Amino acid sequence: MTISNAIEFKDVTFTYPESKAPVLKKINFKVKKGSWTALIGHNGSGKSTISKLINGLLLPDKDSGSVITVSGMNLNSENVWDIREKVGIVFQNPDNQFVGATVGDDVAFGLENRGVPRDQMVQTVKKVLSDVGMLDYIDAEPANLSGGQKQRVAIAGILAVEPEIIILDESTSMLDPSGRDQILKIIKRLMSEKKLTILSITHDIDEADMADNVIVLNDGKILAQASPTEIFSQTEMPRQIGLDIPFVDKLIYKLNQLGITIPKDVQTKDELKQYLC
Ligand code: ADP
């Protein structure tokens, strides 16, 4: 049987020991294998909690009927480590992610832990650094790299252990626009080359706009899950909860309100840009 979903949450409820009420309330969503899904919502809406549940750093409330499936496995306290092998997380602050004295040592870390033979390790480290355009920096000290270069090394370290899913947890929020664009371009390419599934947790509306699917979270509940165009340019909802909207979507929405409809063959945003020029 082939598995079509990389991640599935079914009626997932989660309460922190310190909190009085659940912070996630019967959450349901699916992330298709090989897709890019963006998870958006205000601070405190539950995004990080979801990311911690996906790799078993947190477990759902007992006896709540919650079911989390990751890479075809039903998450429970016994298979957390098997699941973590499938999921790599790139965090927000690139400085907190380094363990090696050089870029090469750092990327080798996960392989050393798995007892990979030295020759194979060297080959893999070179391959993944080249995948993210950082092979020339193999002997550099991580501290001397730019924020974007550090995030590329963090991605290489994750690729080395061949995950199926990569979570970008606000990974581009501390980068300048060119560093951000480079990371997103690399991720887009790697996704198709390595058949990866991407879940990006983001405040950056342009990053969300690059995804295949957007999940909108508000106060521990899912308000919508659809394509960026459907969510941003065809519904009132993101405006009602005060989310920012990508410029092109604002334009389509406004034109529609003014009764100016775009020809049906203009489907994508690039086609729209061309049509307007
Ligand atoms: P987001 O990532 O969208 O900002 P979080 O998942 O961090 O949201 O938080 C969701 C809710 O859970 C918030 O109300 C937050 O205050 C609460 N929360 C987060 N971490 C803890 C914790 N360790 N203990 C108690 N409450 C927490």
- The verdict on residue 128 lying in a domain is yes
- One-letter identity of residue 171: S
Q: How far is the CA of 40 from the centre of ligand 1 (A)?
A: 14
In the chain, how many domains are there? 1
User: For the segment 18-39, what is each residue's pLDDT rounded down to a tens digit?
Assistant: 988 999 999 999 999 999 999 9
- Which residues have C-beta atoms less than 6 Å from ligand 1? 16, 18-19, 23, 41, 43-49
Rounded CA-CA distance 200/170 in Å is 7
Pocket test for ligand 1, best of 9, 12, 15, 16 (most atoms within 8 A of CB): 16
Q: For residues 240 and 234, is the Cβ–Cβ distance under 8 A?
A: no
Mean pLDDT of 141-159: 93
How far apart, in whole angstroms, are the C-alpha atoms of residue 231 and residue 234?
Answer: 6
Residue 225 in any domain: the answer is yes
Between the alpha carbon of residue 227 and those of residues 211, 234, 257, the distances in Å are: 8, 10, 20
In a domain, 272, yes or no: no
CATH number for the domain harbouring residue 206: 3.40.50.300
- Of 102, 90, 201, whose CA–CA distance to 152 is shortest? 90
Residue 266 lies in a domain: no
* Residue of 40, 49, 203 best suited for mutating to test ligand 1, as the one with most atoms within 8 Å of CB: 49
| pLDDT tens digits for range 55-112 | 889 999 999 999 999 999 999 889 999 999 899 999 988 888 788 899 999 999 989 9
Q: Read off the pLDDT band of 123 (50, 70, 90).
A: very high
> 1 pLDDT band (50/70/90 cuts)?
low
Residue 28 φ then ψ, to 5°: -130, 125
203 vs 157: CA distance, rounded Å? 24
Residue 57 within a domain: yes
- Amino acid (1-letter code) at residue 200: S
β-strand partners of 199: 37, 167
Q: How far is the CA of 43 from the centre of ligand 1 (A)?
A: 8
Mean pLDDT of all residues in 127-131: 94
Tell me, yes or no, whether 270 lies in a domain. Answer: no
Q: How far is the CA of 220 from the centre of ligand 1 (A)?
A: 10
Cα separation of 263 and 53, whole Å? 43
Centre of ligand 1 to C-alpha 186, Å, is 30
| Any domain includes 251 | no
Indicate left, alpha or beta for 63 from its phi (over 0: left) and psi (-120 to 50: alpha).
left
Compute the distance from residue 49 Cα to the ligand 1 centre, in Å: 7
Structure confidence by residue, pLDDT tens digits, 232-276: 877 788 888 888 888 878 887 888 888 887 776 776 667 777 887
Atom of ligand 1 nearest to the CA of 51: 6
Query: For 250, how many CA atoms within 13 A lie in the half-sphere containing its CB?
Result: 8
ipTM over 0.90: yes
Q: Give the atom of ligand 1 at the shortest distance from the alpha carbon of 42.
A: 3
Q: What is the mean pLDDT of residues 175-197?
A: 89
Rounded distance between C-alpha atoms, residue 44 and residue 130, angstroms = 37
Atom of ligand 1 nearest to the CA of 18: 25
Written as six digits, the tokens of 166 are 């990569």
Residue nearest to atom 5 of ligand 1 (CA): 46
For atom 13 of ligand 1, which residue has the closest CA?
44
What pTM did the predictor assign?
Answer: 0.88
> Tokens 């409820």 map to which residue?
13
Q: How far is the CA of 44 from the centre of ligand 1 (A)?
A: 5
* Residue 17, SS3 per DSSP: coil
* Phi, psi at 192, each rounded to 5°: -80, -35
Question: Which of ligand 1's atoms lies nearest the C-alpha of 201?
Answer: 2
- Which one-letter amino acid corresponds to residue 176? D
Q: Which domain holds residue 238?
A: 5-245
In a domain, 234, yes or no: yes
